[in-house]
Structure 1
Amino acid sequence: MLTAINRVLIGLAGLVLLALGGAVLAVGLGAPAPSGWIHDGRHDVLLTAAERTHWRGAGWWWPTVLAALAVLLLLSLWWLTAQLRRRRLTEVLVDTGDGEGALLRGRALETVLATDAAHQQGVAHAQAVLRGRRTAPEVRVWLQLDPDVPPREALDDLTAQALAHARDSAALKRLPAEVRLTSVKHRVERVT
């Protein structure tokens, strides 16, 4: 969802900036101003003195402006924190037994887990993403199953094989998993 919001916001900002910048550039170079445009010619100012002081005496003006700016600031801060938040776990702390520990790359564990899951009977494609904290990772697994595979068997195999291997190899006490199962689409067979 965040990717869609980013694309929409960046696309809208780009279109607005392109339209305004192009129009200002065209009027500044001497092209006739479009109808309803705020500038009449190349030496016109952005806001006249009357336009700048028009709403100064109204009691609702400054609270409205400050509220709009506060909402804009809060939305900008939300967007910035959403961008900076990491979606994937970059490393997992492995207890080596000597008190020091070792760091295992998150992508390496994801790749091994997905490869192990993809080699299961009836799994066409597998993908894994680590989340959580490095001392308590969680995994989200997507399995694309062949059409004739019962989901219960695939889930049992994943739990007994791929997830157990990942948990044991990283010396984790527990590895909670969210598994999403889909089926490979296949063509309808014709009966004659």
Structure 2
Amino acid sequence: MSEISHVGAVSVTYGHFPVGELWEPGFEREESRPDFQTDTSVIVIPGQIVVRTRVQEHTAPVVLVRGHGQDGAPGENWTLLASELYRPVYTGRMAAFDTTDGLAKPAAVPMEVFGRLSEPGEASLSLDPAQIYLVQVWEQGRNDSRERFEAASQRGEDSLHGWFEAYAIVFTPSGRQSPPTPATPVSRRGRLAARHGKPPLGMR
């Protein structure tokens, strides 16, 4: 049976939001940035899956799913946006994030995916860091989201908090990798020696 997260509400700005892997102490932090010059709707970089939206600023319900096979669409009215491979880089703890404000907040209402009701809460789940995953990004509402957003703006409605697009991010095992391991801890003496070429006098 699939593991389904709670449904979060992602505050989207600049037309994109990340589903990212939570950094763990001891691991070298991945600092890569997505290339927004591409027309790709979903960009995968180490530690993140970046979803580009058709509406620049809005709030989108997002749920994460860990599947065990190709289960098809999460339900009626879902459309597959992209399929990409993701390799965990830390310990595999994934979460949906606002574009600029940290972890997504709980959504206002539940969402039904794969015949089960996901209640509002934190959109997070754990992957096996020894697995490689096929990530399927499913969406609702994109086909006319920008048009509905512009119409709401013209009517003077609070379009920033309106529902225009929803996403289900499905992770399915698709191979194995050597699990990432934390770096060997370096002592203060070692750090100072690396910086200055030799340990300080009091540490020799």
Fold shared by both chains (TM-score > 0.5): no
TM-score normalised to structure 2 length: 0.20
Does 1 or 2 have the higher relative contact order (CA < 8 Å, sep 6+)? Answer: 2
TM-score normalised according to structure 1 size: 0.20
Higher helix proportion (structure 1 or 2) = 1
Q: Which one has a larger percent strand, Structure 1 or Structure 2?
A: 2
